[in-house]
Amino acid sequence: MSGFLPSAIVYILAAIVCVPIAKRLGMGSVLGYLLAGIAIGPYLVGFIQEGQDIMHYTEFGVVMMLFLIGLELEPENLWKMKNLILNAGLTQVLVTSALIIGLGIAFGFTWQISITIGFSMALSSTAIVLQSLKEKNVMGSPVGKLSFGVLLMQDIAVIPILAILPLLAVANETVNTSGEGHGFIEQFPAWVQTLSLFGAVGLVILLGRYGFGPLLNYVSKTHLRELFTASALLIVVGITFLMEFVGLSPALGTFLGGVILANSPYKHALESDLDPFKGLLLGMFFMAVGATINFGLIFSNASIIISATIGVIILKSLVLLIIGKIKKLEIGNNLKFAIGLSQIGEFSFVTYAFASQLGIIDLSISDTLMAITALSMTITPILMVILDKVIFPKMSTNQGPKKEMDTIETRSKVILVGFSHFGSTLGRFLRANGVEATVLDYNPDRVDFLRKMGFKVYYGDATRLDLLHSAGAEEATLLISAIKNPETNLKLIEICKENFPKLEIMLRAKNRVDAYELMEAGMENIYREHLDTSIRMGEDALKKLGFRAHTIHRLAASFKKYDEEALKVLVQYKNNQKEYISKIKLQIESQETLLSGELSRKFSMNDHAWDSEAMKNPEN
């Protein structure tokens, strides 16, 4: 199969066939993609031969995923995780690699090879683990947090590991480094390298703080969606490039960029624009992993490869189990944590390739190792399914995962769309009552301005489904639209009705005419913006004319009620001018009689009823 279109078709078809089946069987999309990859790979159907290449390109999906994860993790929260990352993460990396290195040497490999293998195998697959955690919606649970902490440390560990490999080659005396290994920066002396590492990280932080915001503000003013998407891509690609240039892990760099942008008003817009790219790339990536599994090699070396894979999985799990135990995970969660992270990560594909370039390991060993990695990546999701479906139901008593977990980002239950004077007054009132709404606004300058005043406002077009998704419309109870434009409101209604049927909608309407339209769209909670103010003004005017405050207060409330009720009747006649006018007249008349009746009703009319019969006035 050659040519872009046919391979695209094959990939997509395979995904469409396999992923839904996998999901239906409760296996999660990762396993689905892996199986799809195996199916179209060279050893089954044989459509795809170039798995390695595709994997290399689509690894960008992992980078993007980390950017998106960063977006959801505000710096303070990351800071809170520092102990987790250092203790659990570092222990995992060091202990696991030490054990594997020891075993390698015990099995008679040179120490250089053992070190390469040890470090490579110690790392887990960020892509698989995070994707599964997100899919199960447990990123914020204790398991999710611990897994994430360990993965983050592993990503940091990539830096020294890549730095160590060339030294091993030197020690191996088959100096073969041409500089194309990773960073271009390689050719410079160590101090320049170190300096540029810090420089690059600093640059990402600086850009994140001061550069990306103005860029996105500028672009969003054009209201061209594709330009915004392009800018989002530019940010991720740019950071990746910079990181590769200085030899840092791009995933780590974009993660950092994401964290810095987590407080930005463009957070939700970025999320919703990048998410499809991430999804597609990751899917491709997993399929590529599936396609690279060299079954020929596995079958010819079955006993070695399978036992090595199982051995590594068991070893990694044991180390993780101990860490989980120390971190006080109860047994069910601990198993999820340990087995979830027990595969060998995609990073090992890079190290093996790099190491064989450096001449540390030869091609046959590297092929075998890659087969082990791919196999472990396929086995652990299967183990997770077994754990979930077979083992947990049996030990259901001591599992208890239902206890409330604190999430990384607590989403508010209210989405407030439009933060003009109307919306901001509303928002302030809600906030004063402890309800922090997720606020969306489409005017980048206003967003910036309100942010300066301390409001958590996000830039974005609320009539975009993806944006509503990332603003949490699925979990929200209430969507309040403080937009006055009826077209926008109608669009919003349509989207919400179709996608979030449980979400209750409250709408601002400019006047009667707009209110009618919203009513016809089936809405109930409609707030005409002038109604309360004009009545309140009338209330005060009457007080100044000598009416009693409490009486007028009650009458005003009744007036408003009658008016709202009348609206429901009048909407049926709104297209028939004559009928409409006569109906309105009728409504006004009855409204006035009702109110004036109330106004003149004398309270002490029946006072005799409280008196003794004898005392009652004979005239009554």
Ligand X SMILES: Cc1cc2nc3c(=O)[nH]c(=O)nc-3n(C[C@H](O)[C@H](O)[C@H](O)COP(=O)(O)O)c2cc1C
Round to the nearest angstrom and report the end-to-end CA distance of the chain.
105
Q: Which is nearer to ligand X, 406 or 613 (CB)?
A: 613
User: How far is residue 80's CA from residue 513's CA, in Å, rounded to a whole number?
Assistant: 52
A 10 A CB-CB count for 562 gives: 17
How many residues bind to ligand X according to rule CB under 6 A?
4
Identified binder of ligand X from the candidate list 610, 612, 613, 615, rule CB under 6 A: 610
Does the footprint of other proteins cover residue 603 (CB under 8 A)?
yes
User: How far is residue 98's CA from residue 118's CA, in Å, rounded to a whole number?
Assistant: 7
Binding segment for ligand X among 77-85, 385-393, 401-409, 599-607 (CB under 6 A)?
Answer: 599-607
Does the footprint of ligand X cover residue 601 (CB under 6 A)?
no
Q: Which residues contact 212 (CB under 8 A, 6 or more apart)?
A: 235, 257, 261, 264, 266
CB of 599 to other proteins, least distance (A): 9
CB of 407 to ligand X, least distance (A): 53
Chain positions 47 to 86 lying near ligand X, rule: CB under 6 A, are none
Q: Which is nearer to ligand X, 191 or 603 (CB)?
A: 603
How many residues bind to other proteins according to rule CB under 8 A?
25
User: Which listed option, other proteins, ligand X, none, makes contact with residue 433 (CB within 5 to 8 Å by class)?
Assistant: none
Chain positions 313 to 372 lying near ligand X, rule: CB under 6 A, are none
User: How far is residue 97's CA from residue 122's CA, in Å, rounded to a whole number?
Assistant: 5
Locate tokens 């068991």: which residue? 314
CA-based nearest residue to 33, from 138, 144, 132: 132
Does the footprint of other proteins cover residue 191 (CB under 8 A)?
no
User: How far is residue 550's CA from residue 548's CA, in Å, rounded to a whole number?
Assistant: 6
Q: Which is nearer to ligand X, 433 or 604 (CB)?
A: 604
Give the Å distances, CA to CA, from 148 to 171, 336, 368, 554.
35, 13, 29, 58
Structure tokens at 150: 């360990």
User: Which listed option, ligand X, other proteins, none, makes contact with residue 325 (CB within 5 to 8 Å by class)?
Assistant: none
Does the footprint of ligand X cover residue 565 (CB under 6 A)?
no
For the chain, what is the total number of helices (H) and then of strands (E)?
A: 29, 6
Contact 285, 61 (CB under 8 A): yes
Identified binder of other proteins from the candidate list 2, 397, 398, 612, rule CB under 8 A: 612
Q: Which is nearer to ligand X, 190 or 609 (CB)?
A: 609
Identified binder of other proteins from the candidate list 24, 402, 544, 602, rule CB under 8 A: 602
Does the footprint of ligand X cover residue 604 (CB under 6 A)?
yes
Q: Which is nearer to ligand X, 107 or 610 (CB)?
A: 610
CB of 555 to other proteins, least distance (A): 10
Locate tokens 């990762």: which residue? 30
Q: Which is nearer to other proteins, 16 or 549 (CB)?
A: 549
Contact 149, 85 (CB under 8 A): yes
Q: How many CA atoms lie within 13 A of 585 on its CB side?
A: 6
Chain positions 517 to 576 lying near other proteins, rule: CB under 8 A, are 547-554
Identified binder of ligand X from the candidate list 445, 532, 589, 607, rule CB under 6 A: 607
Which secondary structure element, helix H or strand E, spans residue 457, and what is its range? strand 457-459
Does the footprint of ligand X cover residue 617 (CB under 6 A)?
no
DSSP assignment of 511-544: SHHHHHHHHHTT--EEEETTHHHHHHHHHHHHHH
Does the footprint of ligand X cover residue 598 (CB under 6 A)?
no
Residues at the contact surface with ligand X, assessed by CB under 6 A: 603-604, 607, 610
Residues at the contact surface with other proteins, assessed by CB under 8 A: 547-554, 601-604, 606-617, 620
